[in-house]
Amino acid sequence: MHLGMVAEANVTRRSGNHAARLEERVELGDYNLHVGRLKVVHGLFVLYSVVVHRQVAPSLVENPA
Give me the tens of pLDDT residue by residue for the chain, a chain 65 residues long.
455 555 555 555 566 666 667 677 777 778 888 888 899 999 999 988 888 777 765 555 565 55
CA distance 9 to 54: 66
Q: What is the per-residue pLDDT for 39?
A: 92
CA distance 50 to 37: 20
State the greatest distance between any 2 C-alpha atoms of the chain, in Å, as a whole number.
94
Q: What is the per-residue pLDDT for 42?
A: 92
pTM of the model: 0.41
